[in-house]
Amino acid sequence: MISSINAAAADVPALRDDLFFQAAVAVEATLPREDFVPRAAKPQAYIGAPMEIGWQQTISDPYIMAIMTAAVQVQRGSRVLEVG
């Protein structure tokens, strides 16, 4: 999943060269995405796309989450609540 995010960003200099984007992707690489999806979806947790999580809700695409995180320039130590 992380390699596909980096590959997609490689063609977008504004992302590829953005330190906030790079930091967001690095953090995403450490997160256990399977902990945020239903048990049946765990094998697909790292496909790099939005996924149904029940209650008519989805977990966001990791690429889009990295872009949004970079756009708000989240600083180390910040707490962020993303409410789809």
User: Tell me, what's the pLDDT at 79?
Assistant: 87
pLDDT in tens, 21-69: 999 999 999 999 999 899 999 999 998 889 988 888 888 899 999 999 9
Q: At 62, which amino acid appears?
A: P
User: Tell me, what's the pLDDT at 84?
Assistant: 66
User: Tell me, what's the pLDDT at 62?
Assistant: 92
Catalytic (active-site) positions: 60
Model's pTM, two decimal places? 0.82
User: Tell me, what's the pLDDT at 70?
Assistant: 93
Q: Is 35 helix (H, G, I), strand (E, B) or coil?
A: helix
Give 36: exposed, middle or buried? Use CB within 10 Å, 0-12, 13-18, 19+.
middle
